[in-house]
């Protein structure tokens, strides 16, 4: 049976309403108290999660202690770094949506914030983190170079098939990449979350999606109609956003390619019912856990699923020569030429 690596990553951060106005202060990190139960559950599924910690959950003494205890008692987990610029010193007050994205901040600020976040995580674990994800996704070459300089080995900030006003990952799929074009030693590895469609090739599906999103098409609501008919669905492998059925449909498509890794993600705040719009009640939370389990069970029925933390998975993929080279022109930035790989 073919071996596929499985990564589960959790952005571990303060609670905030993603749909509401942008937060300028940390309201609460109460969700962290639900992590040990969550960890027990996913360990029970045979998973080895990676928790991307942001500064807020470490700064708070109560959650820091929980995280330190969890790290001690669970030798098979990884703590990576998750940079929310609005809570990481030197703090950038999110006066606008734009300033909440590190791709829009001066490099000096990003480097300084990365240093304080790295140090904070090292104080909890005794080890420097080796994996990174930006808050609200998006990355640039200079930030990737800075990551390598500060000892990081893996980035996971590319959000495939997605773009905002400030950066574009629209032409990226979920393939793990070696970022050798950056010229760093060692080479940084990009391991995006798994995203795609319920039909392939994904390149064609994405072109169709982009066409239908254009104003002249959007008014006919074709995307919604195709979704309802299950003819065309863009799917992210997150139990917050997608049903088990959709995630399994995506996994089926992924298994037909030779992509060597499947990467699911969620946010720690979903473990506290009521703090995100995705999980409003205990039954939503049970459904979220069931979704994870169903996808894992499905994958286990189809392949030899090897659950690993993100750094171990990335290094293993490099060792086996399973990373694709990153084209010089492909940068997760709205200003650059993007090349699609399928």
Residues that bind Zn ion (CB under 5 A): 11, 13, 135
Q: For residue 53, what are the β-bridge partners?
A: 12, 81
Whether 187 contacts 193, CB under 8 Å: no
CB–CB of 7/313 below 8 Å?
Answer: yes
Task: Name the minimum Å distance from CB 11 to Zn ion.
Answer: 4
CB of 20 to Zn ion, least distance (A): 15
Nearest residue (CB) to Zn ion, 132 versus 161: 132
What 3-state class would DSSP assign to 8?
strand
DSSP code of residue 116: H
Shortest Å, Cβ 2 to Zn ion: 33
Q: How far is the CB of 133 from Zn ion (least distance, A)?
A: 8
Q: Which is nearer to Zn ion, 269 or 312 (CB)?
A: 269
Decide: 82 and 88 in contact? Cβ < 8 Å.
no
**Residue number with CB closer to Zn ion (11 or 190):** 11
Task: Read off the tokens for 76.
Answer: 């098979």
Angle separating helix axes 107-125 and 61-73, nearest 10 degrees: 60
Q: How far is the CB of 256 from Zn ion (least distance, A)?
A: 32
Residue 204 beta carbon to Zn ion: minimum distance, rounded to whole angstroms = 31
CA distance 78 to 94: 29
In 10 A of CB 229, how many CB atoms?
9
Assign 97 to helix, strand or coil.
coil
Residue with Cβ nearer Zn ion (113 or 178): 113
Q: What tokens does 164 get? A: 């905002």
Closer to Zn ion by CB, 11 or 173: give it. Answer: 11
Nearer to Zn ion, 166 or 340 (CB): 166
């Amino acid at each position: 049976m073919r071996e596929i690596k499985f990564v589960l990553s959790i952005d571990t951060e303060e609670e905030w309403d993603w749909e509401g106005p942008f937060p300028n202060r940390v309201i609460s990190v109460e969700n962290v108290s639900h992590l040990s139960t969550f960890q027990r559950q996913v360990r029970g599924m045979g998973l080895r999660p990676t928790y991307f910690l942001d500064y807020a959950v470490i700064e708070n003494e109560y959650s820091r202690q929980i995280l330190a205890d969890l790290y001690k008692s669970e030798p098979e987990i990884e703590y990576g770094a998750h940079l929310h610029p609005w809570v990481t010193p030197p703090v950038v007050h999110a006066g606008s949506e734009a300033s909440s994205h590190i791709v829009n901040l001066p490099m000096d600020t990003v480097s300084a914030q990365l240093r304080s976040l790295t140090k904070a995580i090292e104080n909890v674990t005794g080890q420097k983190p080796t994996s990174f994800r930006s808050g609200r996704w998006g990355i640039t070459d200079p930030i990737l170079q800075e990551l390598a300089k500060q000892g990081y080995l893996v980035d996971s900030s590319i959000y495939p098939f997605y773009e905002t006003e400030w950066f574009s990952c629209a032409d990226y799929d979920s393939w793990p990449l070696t970022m050798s074009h950056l010229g760093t030693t060692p080479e940084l590895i990009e391991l995006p979350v798994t995203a795609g469609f319920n039909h392939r090739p994904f390149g064609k599906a994405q072109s169709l999606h982009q066409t239908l999103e254009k104003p002249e098409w959007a008014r006919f609501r074709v995307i919604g109609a195709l979704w309802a008919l299950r003819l065309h669905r863009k799917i992210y492998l997150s139990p917050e956003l997608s049903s088990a059925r959709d995630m399994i449909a995506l996994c089926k498509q992924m298994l037909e390619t030779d992509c060597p890794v499947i990467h699911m993600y969620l946010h720690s705040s979903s473990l506290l019912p009521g703090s995100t719009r995705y999980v409003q009640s205990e039954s939503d939370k049970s459904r979220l856990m069931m979704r994870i389990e169903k996808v894992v069970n499905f994958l286990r029925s189809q392949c030899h699923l090897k659950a690993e933390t993100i750094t171990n998975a990335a290094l293993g993929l490099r060792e086996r020569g399973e990373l694709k080279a990153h084209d010089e022109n492909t940068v997760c930035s709205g200003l650059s030429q993007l090349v699609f790989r399928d």
